[in-house]
Amino acid sequence: MLNGKTALVTGSAKGLGRRTALELAASGCDVALNYVSSREEAERAAADILAMGRKAVAIRADISREEEADRLVSEVERELGMVDILINNAGPFIRERKLFADYGREEIHHLMNGNLVGTMLLDHRVLPGMRAKGWGRIIHFGFGHAAEARSWPHRAVYAAAKVGLVSFTKTLAVEEASHGITVNMICPGDIRGGNKEKGIADARGILDEESPRGRPGTGEDVARVITFLCQPESDFITGNTIDVSGGLDPIRANLRDQIGVSRK
């Protein structure tokens, strides 16, 4: 379906990025993997893609740094050719729950640069090549229900960056539609740990009482939607935010607990 296309997947050494990279390779893409510290995992993923008969490279770059993001794309172009598909999966996340007032200024800049500014600059870098070809696919990553711009206590900076990315997704989709470029956002649900790299078959028969669907989400659930959006026939689908959550709404479900903790 995607034979001859070059895909760049940021943050793809493991987790959802890795599963997405493998799905795109299985659909015919040559794939550039990106990592910051997980070199061995990225090289193993590249080896798996090479075993499929596709080309693959693993490139270290921190997309929150402008010069490294530019270098990343330049190396992909040199090794695999112009980027046809850009999957913006990478983005820093602070797991510790804390109030906005307790963030350091460096943390604020890091989260905003990694989740919003860096993504915008990567898009800006690949757009000329996509425009020249008259074809391109850009996917941003959000969080469940990001398009509703809700409050998310203890995740203020991360949530602000992703909600800003929602607006940018919609704007860029309109601006680039005439060039054959689609831009969409995927909003994964609460997919945890090893499930991020598992297939749907691995989750069947496993009970998840928190999920309305009844089973845990997997990396394949997310990667299948991304692969569909990247197909040539999906060119009429652009400017959308798509929840892949099994019906779970973790923010609203935990909102009372989060507020309660903040008041203690």
Q: Is residue 112 in a domain?
A: yes
For residue 61, is pLDDT > 80? yes
Using 50, 70 and 90 to split pLDDT, how confident is the model at 263?
very low
197-223 pLDDT, tens digit each = 898 888 888 877 777 777 878 989 999
Model confidence at 257, pLDDT cuts 50, 70, 90, reads low
User: Do the beta carbons of residue 12 and residue 20 sit within 8 Å?
Assistant: yes
Indicate which CATH number applies to the domain containing 51.
3.40.50.720
> Is position 242 within any domain?
yes
* 51 pLDDT higher than 80: yes
| CB contact at 8 A, 59 and 32 | yes
With respect to residue 178, please indicate whether it lies within any of the assigned structural domains: yes
Query: Does 132 fall in a domain?
Result: yes
Q: Tokens in use for 159?
A: 């949530």
Q: Would 1 be classed as within a structural domain? A: no
pLDDT digits (tens, 9 = 90+) for 3-44: 999 999 999 999 999 999 999 999 999 999 999 999 999 999
248 within domain boundaries: yes
Range of the domain at 32: 6-263
Look over the chain and give the mean of its residue pLDDT values, rounded to a whole number: 92
Q: Which residues pair with 138 in a beta bridge?
A: 86, 183
Residue 195 lies in a domain: yes
Number of domains comprising the chain: 1
Lowest mean pLDDT among 61-65, 157-161, 192-196, 252-256: 252-256
**Which amino acid, 148?**
E
> Using CA atoms, how far apart are residues 50 and 35, in angstroms rounded to an integer?
18
What local confidence, expressed as pLDDT, does residue 63 receive? 93
- Is 232 inside a domain boundary? yes
Average pLDDT over residues 80-87: 98
